[in-house]
Amino acid sequence: MSPAAIQLLLALLNAAAPGAILLVQDIIALFHKYPALTPAQILAVVESLTKSADLQYDAVIAEILADQAAHSTQPAPKVP
Amino acid sequence: MLYKRQSRDLLILVIIALFITTNCAKPTTTTPVTPANVQMAQLSKTIADAESTASKTLIALRENGKITQSETQVVQNYIVVAATTGKSMDAELVSADDWPTQKSKIIQMWVATGIGQAKSSLSPTAGLVLDSILSAVNQIMTAIGGPTI
């Protein structure tokens, strides 16, 4: 291989290497951020989310029932 | 001999050039796919938030005389139905059913609520309160291939 060709290759590799390194770093970061979850871990996430939602559903139902109990005997306000 | 060497060099250059153009020039990141049941659980929380806001908005509208008590009660009843359905959906999401079964049951649950048709019997103001809940429920329906309610 001629010296000119080697220089060209080195230049190309030099240009290619930072991109390749960044790509590998991105992939590693991605695996750290979103590690592959096992079915048990997914279920735990779902349970946590649904438990939180259920508490809020219960709070909404309680709020509405309390309001209805408080307003059941009052006359309805007139719509302007 | 010289011809072979030049060909080999050229091949190496082409491979490197291809590598650069396909991988390094435009580094891409893959977006991880959220599991379907996790997505549903997240949307359940969105529905719960929407119901909470709707309930408070409804009371504020009544207090300001914008809607009647009877209409308030009708919308409240729909919100309770939606909250109960949300809880049933949550129970289904953590059940032992496989995903196709869960999906089918969730679609049936929301269609059965009749919330989509409720708006037609309400005043525009009262109907608007249900919109945010309907929007969140329809996100679920879209995500799992169900009908818009």
Same domain, yes or no: B26 and B40:
no
Same domain, yes or no: B59 and B96:
yes
Please list every residue in chain A whose beta carbon sits closer than 8 Å to the beta carbon of residue B69: 71, 74-77
pLDDT averaged over chain A? 76
Domain around B21: 1-30
ipTM above 0.90, yes or no: no
Q: What is the mean pLDDT of residues A11-22?
A: 64
Tens of pLDDT, residue by residue over B29-61, are 555 678 898 999 999 999 999 999 999 999 999
Let me know: does B44 contact B89? Beta carbons within 8 Å.
yes
Q: Hey, what are B26's tokens?
A: 């435009």
The minimum CA-CA distance between B147 and chain A, rounded to whole Å, is 23
Q: Considering only alpha carbons, which residue of chain B is nearest residue A8?
A: B13
Residue B144: which of B93, B100, B86, B83 has the closest Cα?
Answer: B100
Contact state of B9 with A1 under an 8 Å Cβ cutoff: yes
Same domain, yes or no: B116 and B69:
yes
Domain ranges of chain A: 1-35, 37-72
Same domain, yes or no: B119 and B51:
yes
Same domain, yes or no: B42 and B17:
no
Report if residue B149 sits inside a domain: no
Q: Hey, what are B112's tokens?
A: 């059965």
Task: Calculate what percentage of chain B has a pLDDT beyond 70.
Answer: 83
Minimal Cβ distance to B45: which of A5, A13, A53: A53
Residue B99: which of B139, B54, B149, B143 has the closest Cα?
Answer: B143
Which CATH number does the domain housing residue B122 bear?
1.20.120
Query: In this model, does residue B122 exceed pLDDT 80?
Result: yes
